[in-house]
Structure 1
Amino acid sequence: MTFNSDILIHPGLGNSGPQHWQSIWEKRFNFTRIEQQDWETPVCADWAKILNDYVTRHDPANVILVGHSLACATIAYWASEYNISIKGALLVAPSDTEAESYPSGTNGFAPVLLTGLPFRSITVISNNDYYVSPERARLFANSWGSEAVNIGDAGHINVSAGYGEWDAGLELLKKLDKGY
């Protein structure tokens, strides 16, 4: 499998460890990981600025962002703040920063931004994600103008939920790479 786009991986809170599908994809395809300065107590404006720095190192029209969890909210805020149109975004397991179950320590990510994204996107949701209800995840996807893909009982779509390789996710990324 090859990709024609510049794929930028954006992990969520705590970063993605070596067995996470984002890390596996990064190594397997030589994708670029967006390195935030604070993975544990992030500030949304800081994350959005660093995200913008990475995007503008490439031709934005050829960039696909792959965000997991808190990175989905970051991408929504970044799109609103910087208004740069990219090729697309794969938004996986968006976390609900307004939920009581959401970990403390983040700043500026709530409320979740519910404005349309100026680029194509696919939002992957689970029926039993402990960081977001399926109803809220669908609300996010609809508000962002994303194609919503529900993959069933998949937890937070991370290592603890059994997602390492995740070939089905690669197929969704390939769909964005081809322009749908």
Structure 2
Amino acid sequence: MPTTDVTVLIVPGLRDHVPDHWQTLLAARLPKVRSVPPLEHDKLSCAARVAAIDRSLAGVDGPVVIVAHSAGAMMVAHWAQRATREIRGALLAAPADVETPMPAGYPTRDQLKANGWLPIPLTRLPFASIVAASSNDALTTLARARVFADAWGSRFVELGAVGHLNPASGFGAWPQAEAFIAELGRIDPLQSHGQDKDKETR
């Protein structure tokens, strides 16, 4: 279980909160948690999604660890470009490569570009982070996930063949997320701006 002084902010992808998704199940387990709520308007607007992260963090005292999945990881990368609120770290799970055409049922590249998602920010994040990636994710190749991790200064963890790490890929609960949150929650805030860039494969 993550350290109890840390508030976890759940940042879902474009499909928002999905029953039986590991983020939804995680939120029900944690002692201190907030979730970015679905938008009523401008659902595809990256700027609106970034503003929703700011609103969700308003009034949170103490250390924060963000837990983002899919396009939520890209929301966090955009948010980090302008964030004034310090956080302890971020778990960026199965980041969606919005610069590459995605499968049917997802927004097109042109739609994403028109709504401010492109280009993907590829500058070092001002906080500690872990990119946890799948070797058979339909929304991101493992090579692209490594590019994101290198650019963001993130620790890279290869999860194996876990699809997009969502219910359609057979997940449900993802207990490993809590270990990553605990790791990020223990990081000294003074060190989080200069995180060691060592990578790991599991």
Please tell me whether the aligned partners of residues 2 and 185 of structure 2 are also in contact (alpha carbons under 8 angstroms): no
Match 1:55 to one of 31, 39, 57:
57
Please tell me whether the aligned partners of residues 2 and 178 of structure 2 are also in contact (alpha carbons under 8 angstroms): no
- 2:119 corresponds to 1:118: no
- 2:176 corresponds to 1:175: no
Point out the structure with max Rg over C-alpha.
2
Provide, for residues 103-162 of structure 1, a one-character-per-residue CA deviation record: whole Å limited to 9, x for no partner.
Answer: 224421122110111000001001110001111111011111110101011110111112
| TM-superposed deviation, 1:83 | 4.0
Please tell me whether the aligned partners of residues 123 and 149 of structure 1 are also in contact (alpha carbons under 8 angstroms): yes
- 2:87 corresponds to 1:82: no
- 2:150 corresponds to 1:142: yes
- Mapped to 2, the partners of 1:135 and 1:40 lie a distance apart of 31
Q: Secondary structure at the match of 2:56?
A: helix
Match of 1:24 in 2: 25
- 2:164 corresponds to 1:163: no
Match of 1:14 in 2: 15
Structure 1 residues 129, 101: CA separation in 2 closer, same or farther (over 3 Å shift)? same
| TM-superposed deviation, 1:16 | 2.8
- Mapped to 2, the partners of 1:42 and 1:175 lie a distance apart of 32
Match of 2:162 in 1: 154
Match of 1:98 in 2: 99
Please tell me whether the aligned partners of residues 35 and 56 of structure 2 are also in contact (alpha carbons under 8 angstroms): no
Number of aligned residue pairs: give it.
179
Root mean square deviation, CA, Å: 1.9
Alignment of 1:62-77 (within 5 A): 62-77=63-78
- Mapped to 2, the partners of 1:110 and 1:54 lie a distance apart of 23
| TM-superposed deviation, 1:56 | 2.8
Please tell me whether the aligned partners of residues 8 and 66 of structure 1 are also in contact (alpha carbons under 8 angstroms): yes
Structure 1 residues 53, 130: CA separation in 2 closer, same or farther (over 3 Å shift)? same
Q: Secondary structure at the match of 2:171?
A: coil
Can you give the 5+ residue segments of structure 1 that lack an aligned partner in the other structure?
none
Instruction: Provide the TM-score with structure 2 as the length reference.
Output: 0.82
| TM-superposed deviation, 1:178 | 1.8
Please tell me whether the aligned partners of residues 123 and 151 of structure 2 are also in contact (alpha carbons under 8 angstroms): yes
- Mapped to 2, the partners of 1:9 and 1:76 lie a distance apart of 14
Instruction: Provide the TM-score with structure 1 as the length reference.
Output: 0.92
Please tell me whether the aligned partners of residues 96 and 136 of structure 1 are also in contact (alpha carbons under 8 angstroms): yes
Provide, for residues 19-72 of structure 1, a one-character-per-residue CA deviation record: whole Å limited to 9, x for no partner.
Answer: 00000011112521111315994201111111012123213x601110001111
| TM-superposed deviation, 1:177 | 1.6
- Mapped to 2, the partners of 1:171 and 1:154 lie a distance apart of 18
- Mapped to 2, the partners of 1:38 and 1:114 lie a distance apart of 29
Q: Secondary structure at the match of 1:81?
A: coil
